[in-house]
Amino acid sequence: MSFLDRLVERDRRLAATKYANARSASDQSPRVKPGRTVADAAAKGQAWEDKGRKREMDRGRGCR
């Protein structure tokens, strides 16, 4: 039996016994965290743009 065969057999044995009831990392942590939605990102982006526009207007560089 070659090294690779033993390694694959060991992986199968561990998967069947030790890791049979283990939860995966993706199950433990949701992919989208609360408060990080597309709408929130759009609102933050709009606020950033409005702030920059206001800063330019206050400096007299904007068109009124």
Q: Are 39 and 47 in contact (CB under 8 A)?
A: no
CB-hemisphere CA count at 13 Å for 5?
2
Give per-residue pLDDT as tens, 1-36: 799 999 999 988 888 888 777 777 666 666 666 667
pTM attached to this predicted model: 0.40
Q: Are 32 and 40 in contact (CB under 8 A)?
A: no
Among the listed ranges 4-8, 22-26, 37-41, 55-59, which one has the minimum average pLDDT value? 22-26
Rounded to whole angstroms, the Cα distance separating 21 from 48 reads 46
Rounded to whole angstroms, the Cα distance separating 7 from 42 reads 49
